[in-house]
Amino acid sequence: MAVTLERAQRVGYTCLKALLRFAFMVANNLVAIPSYVLYLIVLQPLRILDSKSFWYIEGVLFKWLLAMVASWGWWAGYTVVEWGDDVKAVSEDEAMVLVNHQATGDVCTLMMCLQDKGTVVRQMMWLMDHIFKYTNFGIVSLIHGDFFIRQGKAHRDQQLVLLRDHLEKYYRSRNRKWIVLFPEGGFLRKRRETSQEFAKKNNLPFLKHVTLPRLGATQVILETLVAPQENGTPSGGDAVRKESKSKGLQWVIDTTIAYPKAEPIDIQTWILGYRQPTVTHVHYRIFPVKDVPAEPEALTNWLYQRFIEKEDLLTHFYETGAFPPPQGQTKAISREMTLSNLWLVAIQSFAFCQEGCGTASFSICTIAYFKNGMGPEDTMGIQALANEYHVVCANVNIQE
């Protein structure tokens, strides 16, 4: 009877916690997302007068929104350990990030682990399935300039044309640096069988932990964003030619996400927190874009090789609980990714206290914050800044 009671208490606690977390997430979305939209509506004159400053502010707000999503997992005990190359070293350069795709939680994991990579989050562009356009976060991604891609042979050619146009129109004009995509074109569980059949017919390796990637989006991104002659391409596309100051795409970051026991976290788990605290492992490998072939057949083989390497990495991880050391080294070094709880609380407080201050007042604060040139290292409180403009906003410290 005691055991049954104890188990019932645990189940009850888990359900109560999940219910409270869900309520918090709903409130979070109902406050933060409309505020983001209203801010940018109010700031439309600035977009006309100073587009660069407008997209800077939008990027910071976007980073804060993604930090809120990251906080849902962080406070549930879903943390990240990083392996391989240190991507902070290239955080100010343009890069394409190739990621394996297992579940909806992959996106949340990236939102978390990229938070401490300088300006990356506010200057990144996502390529995601068009279905995400109809989620609560869809309006934010539309405004930010992410690209929603429709899957399937019937849409493939048209989507690649639209992607090229999108990159040329928005990537440099909004000062984007990193572009994130999932080349497999879908979740592992949905594509594995089809991928294995294709591999068998074409004498390619049999993969269990990843699927063979698709070339289309990767090729378009390289053709459009790589500067002339960086990887043997005679032209980097209009997006490069129009922006002579840009060095173009400099790096390809091969990113591999691994979950303990090959049990990925989905968005429901991330929100409700009913799974026990879990450490997700993320491995990075950086390639100079000049080493990436431009010809379609060579690029296809290069891309296949990256996912064959991912298969080896994941096989080793599932067998040992760790990624293997880099070639020529005897020990792999991991780094625990951390987020500041104070910073996360500050951002959440900033969002929720708008109910008492009003959008117009907060718009003044936001403009004042950036016009005063406050950077990531600045620890001035919102209260002090608000007093300068005779607006009482919040009694929290904030950092970008």
Domains recognised in the chain with CATH numbers: 77-227+246-324+332-341 (3.40.1130)
Q: Which of 134, 103, 127, 52 is nearest to 257 (CA)?
A: 103
Q: What is the pLDDT of residue 87?
A: 95
- The tally of CA atoms less than 13 A away on the side-chain side of residue 239 is 28
Strand ranges across the sheet with 178-181 = 147-149, 124-129, 178-181, 95-99, 251-258, 278-288, 78-84, 334-336
Provide the sign of the torsion angle of the four alpha carbons 29, 113, 251, 245, taken in this order.
positive
Residues 166/220, Cβ–Cβ less than 8 Å: no
How does DSSP assign 138-207, residue by residue? Answer: HHHHHHHT-EEE--SHHHHHHHHHHHHHHIIIIITTTT--EEEE-TT-S-HHHHHHHHHHHHHHTT----
The CA dihedral of 284, 270, 178, 238, to the nearest 10 degrees, is 130
Place of tokens 């939209």: 37
pLDDT given at position 377? 35
Q: How far apart are CA 238 and CA 243, in angstroms?
A: 8
How far, in Å, CA of 126 to CA of 354, rounded?
28
Give the pLDDT confidence score for residue 242 in this predicted structure: 46
Q: pLDDT tens per residue, the chain (400 residues)?
A: 455 777 777 778 888 888 999 998 898 888 899 989 999 999 999 999 999 999 999 999 999 999 999 999 999 999 999 999 999 999 999 999 999 999 999 999 999 999 999 899 999 999 988 888 888 888 999 999 999 988 777 788 899 999 999 999 999 999 999 999 999 988 999 999 999 999 999 999 999 999 999 999 999 999 999 977 644 444 444 444 444 456 899 999 999 999 999 999 999 999 999 899 999 999 999 999 999 999 999 999 999 999 999 999 999 999 999 999 988 888 888 999 989 899 888 888 877 775 545 444 444 444 444 444 444 433 333 343 334 333 333 333 333 3
Closest CA to 307 of 148, 220, 195, 151: 195
- How many Cα atoms sit within 13 Å of 2 on the Cβ side? 0
How far apart CA 214 and CA 347 sit, in angstroms, is 38
> Is residue 236 within 8 Å of residue 248, measured between CB atoms?
yes
Helix or strand holding residue 240 (H, E): helix 238-241
- Residue 104 identity: T
pTM: predicted TM-score of the whole model, two decimal places: 0.83
> Closest Cα to residue 97, out of 199, 15, 178?
178
Query: Looking at residue 396, what is its pLDDT?
Result: 34
Q: Are 225 and 249 in contact (CB under 8 A)?
A: yes
**Residues belonging to the chain:** 400
pLDDT for 154 equals 78
pLDDT at position 13 = 80
Q: Distance of CA 224 to CAs 167, 233, 258, 327, 346, Å?
A: 7, 10, 31, 32, 39
